[in-house]
Amino acid sequence: MTGGRGTAGRIAVIGGGPGGLYFAALAKRLDPGREITVFERDGREDGYGFGVVFSDETLDGIADADPRVFAAMSAEFARWSDIDVRYAGQVRTCGGHGFAALDRNRLRTILQRRCAELAVDVRYRTPAPPAARLAEQYDLVVAADGVHSSTRAAFAAAFRPELDERHCRYMWLATDRVLDAFTFVVERFDFGVLQVHAYPYSAARSTFIVEAAEDVWRRAGFEALAAREFARGESDTASVRRCAELLAGHLDGHRLIPNASRWIRFTTVRNATWRHRNVVLLGDAAHTAHFSIGSGTKLALEDALALAASLREQPTVADAAAAYEAQRRPVVESAQRAAQASLEWFEGVGRRTGQAPDRFAFNLLTRSRRVTYGGLRARDPGFVEAVDAASGGGSGVRQGPPMFRPLKLAALELRNRVVVPPLATFTAVDALPSAFDRAQLTGHALGGAGLVIAGMTAVSPEGLIAGCPGLWSDRQEAAWRELLDSVRAVNDTPVGIQLTHAGRRASPAGRGELLAASPLPWLPDGPPPHEAAPARLAAVAAAFAAAAGRAARAGFDALELQFGHGHLVSGFLSPLTNRRADRYGGPLAHRLRLPLEVLAAVRAVWPAGRPLLVRISAADWAPGGTTEAEAVVICRALADGGADAVDVSTGEVVAHERPPYGRGYQTPFAELVRAATGLPTVAVGAVSHHDDVNSVLLAGRADLVAVGRAQLYDPLWTLHAAAEQGYEGPGARWPEPWAAGSRRPPGPAADRVAPRLRLVPEPDPPVHRRWRPGQDRPDRSEEQR
């Protein structure tokens, strides 16, 4: 394959690992006239690392880009489709995934040979000259020099790297036990939980990564064993022996094999840009993603392909570098979001070890949010059906999708697990619910959710946000009662209301002064609030209680108190917004005083059988904010104070927050609170698809899921989710006048029936495939269940 000369006649590559070699081979193949030099500090035969795993998508790209490289790799692949989860003395197996792995050093050899065939100048045992010097001598410098990239460090002001060193310790090892599936081991010892990520990569070896939380690592004795400096290439053999002893039951008499193996922490690498003039970062130098979702080598090879292609397609090096980053950054950031969710899941794996084996396995498999309930049902229906049955309230019978299972909250029976959270319309006039509020609540009540909550409803004039309703007067109470009557005339969905005092986020417009825990404005240039004196705080608690009484008389089925999102009570909980020196400030026990006073006042007047929920911000997404441990303490106190459930949100506490937005990004906090307190939780935030709702519920991360903005897009979201899943049970009741629309309407091609065009049909691929060196045949391994 040849092509136009294009850009970059002279290219220097720093680093002769798989990413650098693959780029050099592709760039040379596209333009044989290029002069490409690879600088590699190690020798040709030096080998580090163990196996690397590839997805089918990546392999398709390699096959298209260089069939000879793909053919050489394919000849050595270990292939399988099963994942085994070894936990609590049992094994759960899920099939249908599809993996291909090979020895990293064999991959490197394949790429070395390909570079030699293409006349790439690879200089072994030759440290690269400084990148700045290379940039003067070559048209393009490709820095594939790894996670500790000296190139990135040399141009740190340009690349602006962010290095996030994580909390767990891990060690890369191999074993001569040839596993036949991707294997996760989660085992509890007296010192804590060890986890293993393992997979086969040849007929003789498997990768075996041992990981432990920092405190577990210390209690297990590894800190003492690792308490010395190790030379480059040296292994911590004492720790390797200790791992072999502890995990002997999973090695089946086989060895752990080190290769420059010692305890390290994973570092997530991010850069503001991957290019500076004619210098480009590639692979781990540009980005890393935790090993629990795949191989960094995979990402590096994808980078190499994209950069080589961009050089061919673009007129200048600068244009090619920009195109390369524009293509790859969205892909990498998506992978990093999934990897972040996965690594945080494993950092907190100890809190999940109380789950039953089926639910734990499902939780583990869906940890990154890329794999979902629906995805697993498509890959291995038997696995999901078994988890469904085991999690169906002890009946052992599958009850339909998890989102349509009933829940009793206090004395209120909810027909399903979907909540429509408070969705402010900002249409109220004189703090009275508007015609649009009425239409929205009616529409959402008709839409099939288990619970609909109105909000944000102020308990006093000074706590009001402009355009929102209130509940401090007889007139407002009557308006809400009349609204509820109109809703119930057409539907019996339970309706709740959220009460709040917006504090420094209020817009009283002459109704009173802004109140806050401390005189800190919401925005730097905003109006400073007044620090609320104890007498004013007593009045606030009384206002919440009075509004709760009005809500009960109006006929609301549930009540939610807004203790999050930077509103008044939230401002007392967060150390970022509470700088008080009196009994309402300082340690968490003091910062909890006002929230518990408000809760007690409300609990005294709110009917016992109707659910009382509290929304909190479990994280502030800013340095010095509420910690996970504090969030647990807060929720335990709320449970002791009479809360029936916690709506676990995050953020909106300070304007300088930096939330890691993404699908379901707040759900881990609901899971944290649920596991630590036993209190029912509502997961909320960036959940918009029924597949994610089912995943959250079946994994045991929450008891209810709030779906907000998606309900604005489709007020019948819950009923449509039922139709899309083919569910017609009691958890999704269509209004009788709309019953004819309860099934998905046919599309434009619904009346077309495809003819048979194959004489002999292709068999469906097996769900379960194990790695069998020399055989490579399917195996259902039903005994694993």
Range 389-401 average pLDDT: 70
Q: Report d(CA 400, CA 391) in Å as an integer.
A: 11
Residue 207 phi/psi, 5-degree rounding, is: -70, 145
Q: Report d(CA 343, CA 266) in Å as an integer.
A: 9
With the CA atoms of 322, 328, 329 and 333 taken in that order, what torsion angle do they form, in degrees rounded to the nearest 10?
A: 180
Whole-angstrom Cα Rg for the chain:
29
What pLDDT digit, counting tens, does each position of 441-495 carry? Answer: 999 999 999 999 998 999 999 999 999 999 999 999 999 999 999 999 999 999 9
pLDDT at 39 over 90: yes
Look at residue 129 in the predicted model and tell me its pLDDT.
Answer: 97
Q: Report which of 766, 764, 697 is spatially closest to residue 97, judged by C-alpha positions.
A: 766
pLDDT at 414 over 90: yes
Look at residue 198 in the predicted model and tell me its pLDDT.
Answer: 97
Q: Which residues lie closer than 8 Å to 400 by C-beta, 6 or more apart?
A: 727, 729, 731
pLDDT at 32 over 50: yes
3-state secondary structure 114-136: HHHHCCCEEECCCCCCCHHHHHH
Look at residue 494 in the predicted model and tell me its pLDDT.
Answer: 98
DSSP secondary structure of 193-229: EEEEEEEE-SSS-EEEEEEE-HHHHHHTTHHHHT-S-
**In a 10 Å sphere around its CB, with 0-12 CB exposed, 13-18 middle and 19+ buried, how is residue 509 labelled?**
exposed
Q: Report d(CA 234, CA 216) in Å as an integer.
A: 24
- Tallying the residues shown for the chain, one arrives at 785
Look at residue 1 in the predicted model and tell me its pLDDT.
Answer: 32
**pLDDT confidence tier of residue 726, bands split at 50, 70 and 90:** very high
C-alpha triplet 286, 291, 292: angle, nearest 5°: 135
Range 508-514 average pLDDT: 71
Look at residue 779 in the predicted model and tell me its pLDDT.
Answer: 42
Range 23-42 average pLDDT: 97
C-alpha triplet 402, 404, 408: angle, nearest 5°: 95
Asked if 373 and 695 touch (Cβ cutoff 8 Å), the reply is yes
Look at residue 623 in the predicted model and tell me its pLDDT.
Answer: 97
Look at residue 783 in the predicted model and tell me its pLDDT.
Answer: 33
What pLDDT digit, counting tens, does each position of 109-135 carry? Answer: 999 999 999 999 999 999 999 999 999
Asked if 767 and 181 touch (Cβ cutoff 8 Å), the reply is no
Asked if 685 and 621 touch (Cβ cutoff 8 Å), the reply is no
Asked if 588 and 640 touch (Cβ cutoff 8 Å), the reply is no
Look at residue 48 in the predicted model and tell me its pLDDT.
Answer: 81
3-state secondary structure 285-344: HCCCCCHHHCCHHHHHHHHHHHHHHHHHHCCCHHHHHHHHHHHHHHHHHHHHHHHHHHHH
Q: Report which of 742, 726, 628 is spatially closest to residue 677, judged by C-alpha positions.
A: 628
Asked if 183 and 84 touch (Cβ cutoff 8 Å), the reply is yes
What pLDDT digit, counting tens, does each position of 284-301 carry? Answer: 999 999 999 987 999 999
- Residue 74's SS3 state is helix
Look at residue 511 in the predicted model and tell me its pLDDT.
Answer: 66
Q: Report d(CA 742, CA 729) in Å as an integer.
A: 12
Asked if 681 and 646 touch (Cβ cutoff 8 Å), the reply is yes
Q: Report d(CA 356, CA 351) in Å as an integer.
A: 13
Q: Going by DSSP bridges, is the β-strand pair 182-189/83-87 parallel, antiparallel, or unpaired?
A: parallel
**pLDDT confidence tier of residue 724, bands split at 50, 70 and 90:** very high
pLDDT at 3 over 70: no
Q: Report d(CA 336, CA 341) in Å as an integer.
A: 8
Q: Report d(CA 278, CA 276) in Å as an integer.
A: 6
Q: Which residues lie closer than 8 Å to 335 by C-beta, 6 or more apart?
A: 289, 293, 294, 299
Range 47-59 average pLDDT: 86
Least confident segment among 571-575, 620-624, 702-706, 744-748: 744-748
Asked if 172 and 301 touch (Cβ cutoff 8 Å), the reply is no
Range 6-17 average pLDDT: 90
Q: Report which of 200, 329, 134 is spatially closest to residue 772, judged by C-alpha positions.
A: 200
Pick left, alpha or beta for residue 664 (phi over 0 → left; psi -120 to 50 → alpha; otherwise beta): left
Least confident segment among 81-95, 360-374, 507-521, 679-693: 507-521
Range 224-229 average pLDDT: 94
Look at residue 201 in the predicted model and tell me its pLDDT.
Answer: 96
Range 426-435 average pLDDT: 96
Spacing of C-alpha 270 from chain mean position:
17
**pLDDT confidence tier of residue 46, bands split at 50, 70 and 90:** confident
Asked if 76 and 124 touch (Cβ cutoff 8 Å), the reply is no
- Residue whose token pair is 């209004």: 735
What tokens were used for 384? 């999901």
What pLDDT digit, counting tens, does each position of 286-343 carry? Answer: 999 999 998 799 999 999 999 999 999 999 999 999 999 999 999 999 999 999 999 9
- Residue whose token pair is 């946000």: 465
- Helix, strand, coil proportions of the chain in percent (round to 5)? 40, 20, 40
**pLDDT confidence tier of residue 509, bands split at 50, 70 and 90:** low
Q: At what angle do helices 296-313 and 18-30 cross, to 10 degrees?
A: 20
Residue 109 phi/psi, 5-degree rounding, is: -65, -45
**pLDDT confidence tier of residue 184, bands split at 50, 70 and 90:** very high
Q: Report d(CA 22, CA 108) in Å as an integer.
A: 9
Q: At what angle do helices 317-347 and 667-677 cross, to 10 degrees?
A: 10
Q: Report d(CA 239, CA 171) in Å as an integer.
A: 9
Average confidence score pLDDT of the chain: 94
Asked if 324 and 310 touch (Cβ cutoff 8 Å), the reply is yes
3-state secondary structure 477-506: HHHHHHHHHHHHCCCCCCEEEEEECCHHHC
Please state whether the predicted TM-score (pTM) of the whole model is above 0.85: yes
Percent of the chain with pLDDT over 90: 89
Q: Which residues lie closer than 8 Å to 199 by C-beta, 6 or more apart?
A: 51, 53, 78, 99, 101, 179, 181, 182, 183, 206, 207
Range 193-207 average pLDDT: 97
Residue 197 amino acid letter: H
Look at residue 781 in the predicted model and tell me its pLDDT.
Answer: 39
Q: Report d(CA 266, CA 208) in Å as an integer.
A: 16
Look at residue 776 in the predicted model and tell me its pLDDT.
Answer: 59
Look at residue 782 in the predicted model and tell me its pLDDT.
Answer: 35
> Could you tell me the end-to-end alpha-carbon distance of the chain, in angstroms, rounded to an integer?
50
